[in-house]
Structure 1
Amino acid sequence: MTGDRPPRRTWKDAAAPSLADFEALASAAFAALPEHFRALCADLVIRVEDFPTDEVLDAMHLKSEFDLLGLFQGVGLPFQAPSAPTAMPNMIWLYRRPILDYWADHEDTLGDIVTHVLVHEIGHHFGLSDDDIDAIEASAD
């Protein structure tokens, strides 16, 4: 009757999700956002890296490269001015290894964590502070 059971999963060939896997998760999370939010993010660049750079760690006074799951860099939409010189595009960074570390210690799915970090950083693109984003999340819970 072994044919009736699903195949047993073995861990010997399992690997941590790659940068490409994270890019696919972030892409799926972004695609699931409402269209009007995605439209406001038309010029937003989303990147996945293993860790933040040393410059980011220094600028944010972080003790460990595992202390930051994601980062928004740029000028939030409410603060942009048509008369301002052309700047680099707004960017969101998702950091694979810190997210995996967080996932290992929590019960949330990896997809939920990636979505949460992405939406949090998009909140900064919209000009929201961490406190604003926390208040929105608390009211949604």
Structure 2
Amino acid sequence: MTNPSPDAISPSLDLIESLAREAIATLPEPWREPATHVVLRVEDFPSEEMLDAMDLNDPFELTGLYEGIPLTEKSVADQVMHPDMVWLFRRPILDEWAERGNVSIQELVSHVVIHELAHHFGWSDDDIAGVDRWWE
């Protein structure tokens, strides 16, 4: 008998991305359409540069990251060097999912995506709570 591959057991990068896109598609207006303009990337782990920038040593401490200038701080004078981007990190997400044991992978991915988009939109905690019940 062969052992199943880890990808047969754990949600894949593609599945995490699909769940994230579903979460974006269910955002209320007026946030849904602008959120589709943020680039979404899914990797197994954050890069060393990302960990250094966040002053973290353990890659499992970072489930997601927003890179860009929040809309509340953007100016027409800003030179865009790269598009606004939300990163999701599969292995830390899966680790948190397993530790929690009381949420679906879809709920956790949605929570991480909304948290990172909150940085993009410049949302307050009250704004986030209106979209993500985990913040209530």
Q: Say which of 11, 14, 17 aligns to 2:11.
A: 17
Could you say if the C-alpha distance between residues 42 and 19 of structure 1 is closer, same or farther in structure 2, counting changes exceeding 3 Å? closer
**Structure 1 residue 112 corresponds to structure 2 residue 104:** no
Deviation per residue, 1:36-75 (Å, 9 max, x gap): 1022224210111100000011111112100001000000
User: What's the offset of the Cα at 1:115?
Assistant: 0.2
**Structure 1 residue 68 corresponds to structure 2 residue 62:** yes
Equivalent position amino acid for 2:116 in 1: E
- Indicate conservation of the 8 Å contact 2:46/2:62, yes or no: yes
Corresponding residue for residue 125 of structure 2: 133
Query: What is the TM-score of this pair, normalised by structure 2?
Result: 0.84
Corresponding residue for residue 27 of structure 2: 33
Gaps of at least 5 residues in structure 1 are: 1-11
User: What's the offset of the Cα at 1:85?
Assistant: 1.8
Q: Say which of 27, 46, 52 aligns to 1:52.
A: 46
- Indicate conservation of the 8 Å contact 1:47/1:93, yes or no: yes
Q: Distance in 1 between matches of 2:127 and 2:77?
A: 32
Query: What is the TM-score of this pair, normalised by structure 1?
Result: 0.81
**Structure 1 residue 86 corresponds to structure 2 residue 80:** yes
- Indicate conservation of the 8 Å contact 1:77/1:127, yes or no: yes
Q: Secondary structure at the match of 1:33?
A: coil
Could you say if the C-alpha distance between residues 42 and 100 of structure 1 is closer, same or farther in structure 2, counting changes exceeding 3 Å? closer
User: What's the offset of the Cα at 1:134?
Assistant: 7.6
Aligned residue pair count: 127
TM superposition outliers: structure 1 runs of 4+ over 6 Å: none
Percentage of identical aligned residues: 43
User: What's the offset of the Cα at 1:35?
Assistant: 3.3
Q: Secondary structure at the match of 1:35?
A: coil
